[in-house]
Amino acid sequence: MKIAGKQLLWGEYQKEIATDKYFYARSCIRQNFFPASEYTFLKILREELGKDIYEDPRHTTCTGIVYHTDLVRIETTMTVIARQFALMTESGYKNYVASCITSFGLYNEILDLWEHHPAMEQKAKELLWKATKREFEKPLNIAHASDIIYKFRNEIAARGKFRLINKDTGKPLRGVEHIGCHYSRMFPHKGVGGAEYPYVLAGMIEAFGGEVIDYPERRHCCGFGFRQYIVKANRGFSVASSKKKFESMAPYKPDFILTNCPGCPYFLDRWQYAISELEGVTYGEKGHGIPVLTYEELAGLILGYNPWDLGLQVHQVAMEPLLEKIGIPFDPAKKYLGIDDKFLGKPENPSLLKVY
Amino acid sequence: MKHILVIGGGVAGLEASIRLSELGFSVSIIEQADKLGGKLNRWDRLFPNSLPAKDLLQELESRLNSNIQAHLNAQISAIQKNKNEFEVTITGGLHLSVDAVLVTTGFEVFDANKKEEYGYGIYDNVITSAELEETLRNGGELLTIDGKKPNRIGIIHCVGSRDEKAGNTYCSQVCCITAVKQAIEIREQLPESEIFCFYMDLRMFGRHFENIYKDAQIKHEVQFIRGRLSEAFENSDGSLMLKVEDTLLGKPLKMNVDMVILMVGMVPSANSNHIKNILKLKTAADDGFFSPADKHYESLKTDMPGIFIAGACSGPKTMENTINEARAVSIQIAEYLKSNKHHSITQILETVKL
């Protein structure tokens, strides 16, 4: 592997990312799967980096899930997205930040559609006006939330209390990254590092002291694939896709998987349990799985946030082995305690996948 | 003695210069490299008869004579037309007055870095057909980055050709037969190796090409799989995993190979673009190569009197066709200098009484 070749390519895919004054749009599903990720993102931007980031409680889904399962017309999607932009316009912000990769891809797709077919943009304006009496301006800058963390990765690393270094060996921890298909596959220049050798997550891992592993099935789908999972009869494809990735990455012995998209951490995390039950196979060390993180969770760990405040207890694959390698302290007794030490309930142990 | 400027000292430029000098003209060759011969300095053996490129170059060089003056490491800075003469300025301040200009600026191979998904420039064991030619020319063995003999080799056709994503929709003509030639050469060097050619269509248009293709399958056991490479990945041992669809079986295919050779197509040379700007020559919108005055009858003339084109600067072509064009353009330049007229097809047709 020639790193210089990758660096040359990365140089061609540097996107402009706004430095402040963001309008934030949440994901439909991330708060359910990884409940503290979006909260952590806002906390890092506001409290660590001193940025102005605004979210409007009236914002909705972008329609991405139903769009990619062919259940809505493009006019519906355009109008909903136009409404999101209208909320941004009304609030006085111009830099749109999407929490979700699918949303980010869909915003770029609609903006591209409007650029090439101005009549469609006019139609979206008319439909939005008829439906809501709102008007909108297109964002000056559009970024995925990981772009923002990437942009300030060195500042976060500088403020951090921990590094991605094995405290016992002093060696960098090794991570694999998965950017999600909709981040830059459709528009390579909209993603940091392009589509084939993306740098957005790799850059974070490097800045936080870790080492990135490239593995043969790195580009393969995480297993979500929309119809692979949403259509129940297709779920075998979903598990098979994730399994293909685990088997490809396992020989490299990654310490963690870093993800970008709402679906990717979910499927790469939960399917490790399902595969252990179905096939009797685990992919991590000593019967554990390979810990899966969102980029906000990783940044939060580096900054020294309490792992249980980051929501790591709701991961299927135990995160404790990674915390121990880094040297992050955690209190096992508080793992399942919520706000005001309210007991959240404890999940049953899997029959094979080792948990703490 | 009439004086002709030849821009580019590759096969077309050399052959045309020799022919023009033998017709009694004085020729100045402007070559940007430090030696004449162009791609003949890089290629090993030429299809269809495995003629060593060195031999062809030697033959051409042996026929250079005192009426041909070559300026190496030189570039054209400016060309001004003054009645029937061209005033030429060359880098370094040299000035020439010439009566006709022949552009033979050739081609460059497609930059394989642009096919990011194939991993050229990133994966250690991905090379181009041009690099393989140079290895073979220098008597080298085909080895992996670890110095081992590759057991399984994937040859990828149409890299940068017939590829809308790469911006090149045209066929580069020579890559299919080059792949077959190189596959046979590898099998001769490494008889134990397995070779898989991944192709869209096999365009064996030239004389003997089809038989060479048949020999590759029957005598040399090269395997041809109809399907375009989707992606290549590097395994931990440096070997490569290929994802491709076998379009005849209608099945996706995953295969590990030790090496990948990319059959890079032809693109207009940087020097062609430089000369295009200086001479205000027309190029085709769909491929960027020089446009002739007429595709059938005036394929070696531009629409500017006194300026001619030959060889791969006007589109992908074989060495054989390049040499034939060089000879033909010499006659056309001689006719032009004799009459000082640049007949266009329209003018000729106007003289024909129907």
Q: How far is CA B307 from CA A145, B283, B303, in A?
A: 57, 14, 8
The full length of chain A comes to 356
Q: Which pLDDT does position B346 carry in this prediction?
A: 56
Q: Which pLDDT does position B30 carry in this prediction?
A: 98
Q: Which pLDDT does position B343 carry in this prediction?
A: 55
Q: What is the mean pLDDT of chain A?
A: 96
Task: For residue A272, give the 3-state DSSP assignment.
Answer: helix
**Beta-carbon neighbour count of residue B247 at 10 Å?**
14
Q: Which pLDDT does position B338 carry in this prediction?
A: 87
B256 in reach of chain A (CB within 8 A)? no
Question: What is the nearest CA distance from B54 to chain A, expressed in angstroms?
Answer: 32
Residue from A176, A196, A218 whose CB has the most chain B CBs within 10 Å, to mutate: A196
Q: Is there a contact between A5 and B233 if contact means CB atoms under 8 Å apart?
A: no
Q: Is there a contact between A196 and B116 if contact means CB atoms under 8 Å apart?
A: yes
Question: What is the nearest CA distance from B106 to chain A, expressed in angstroms?
Answer: 28
Q: Is there a contact between B234 and A219 if contact means CB atoms under 8 Å apart?
A: no
Distance CA A186, CA A116 (A): 15
Place of tokens 């992050």: A328
Q: Which among B112, B87, B122 is positioned nearest to B5, based on CA atoms?
A: B87
What strand order describes the sheet that includes A22-25? A53-54, A22-25, A95-98, A141-144
Residue A280 reports pLDDT greater than 80: yes
B140 in reach of chain A (CB within 8 A)? no
Alpha helices by DSSP H, chain B: 11-22, 53-62, 129-137, 175-189, 209-218, 270-279, 319-339, 345-351
Q: Which residues of chain B have pLDDT under 70?
A: 340-354
* Closest Cβ opposite residue A219 in set B124, B231, B236: B231
Distance CA A77, CA A71 (A): 10
**Beta-carbon neighbour count of residue A140 at 10 Å?**
13
For the segment A301-314, the average pLDDT, to the nearest whole number, is 96
> Which residues fall within 8 angstroms of residue B30, CB to CB, at 6 or more apart?
B5, B6, B7, B8, B9, B71, B74, B75, B76, B90
Report the chain A residue with the minimal C-alpha distance to residue B234: A216
> Which residues fall within 8 angstroms of residue B295, CB to CB, at 6 or more apart?
none
- Long-range Cβ contacts of A79-82 (<8 Å, 24+ apart): A79/A124, A79/A127, A79/A128, A79/A131, A81/A106, A81/A107, A81/A110, A81/A124, A82/A124, A82/A125, A82/A127, A82/A128, A82/A134, A82/A136
pLDDT in tens, A92-142: 999 999 999 999 999 999 999 999 999 999 999 999 999 999 999 999 999
Distance CA A222, CA A183 (A): 13
Q: Is there a contact between B122 and A9 if contact means CB atoms under 8 Å apart?
A: yes
The tokens of A297 are what?
């969770």
A8 in reach of chain B (CB within 8 A)? yes
* Closest Cβ opposite residue B121 in set A2, A218, A252: A2
Residue A156's pLDDT band (cuts 50, 70, 90): very high
Residue A29 reports pLDDT greater than 60: yes
Q: Which pLDDT does position B341 carry in this prediction?
A: 62
pLDDT in tens, B185-244: 999 999 999 999 999 999 999 999 999 999 999 999 999 999 999 999 999 999 999 999
Q: Which pairing describes strands A174-178 and A95-98: parallel, antiparallel, or unpaired?
A: unpaired
Cβ–Cβ under 8 Å, residues B104 and B36: no
Q: Which among B230, B222, B264 is positioned nearest to B247, based on CA atoms?
A: B230
Distance CA A9, CA A7 (A): 5
Q: Is the peptide bond between B48 and the residue preceding it cis, with omega within 30 degrees of 0?
A: yes
Place of tokens 């439906």: A131
* Closest Cβ opposite residue B122 in set A1, A215, A252: A1
* Closest Cβ opposite residue A196 in set B117, B234, B235: B117
> Which residues fall within 8 angstroms of residue B210, CB to CB, at 6 or more apart?
B204
Residue A225's pLDDT band (cuts 50, 70, 90): confident
Q: Which pLDDT does position B345 carry in this prediction?
A: 52
In the chain, the amino acid numbered A313 is: Q
Q: Which pLDDT does position A339 carry in this prediction?
A: 83
Q: Is there a contact between A219 and B122 if contact means CB atoms under 8 Å apart?
A: no
Task: Tell me the DSSP string of B138-187.
Answer: TT-----TTSPPPSEEEEEEEETSSBTTTTB-S--SSHHHHHHHHHHHHH
Q: Which pLDDT does position A356 carry in this prediction?
A: 84
Strand (E) or helix (H) holding B312 = none
Q: How many Cα atoms occupy the beta-carbon half-sphere of B270 within 13 Å?
A: 4
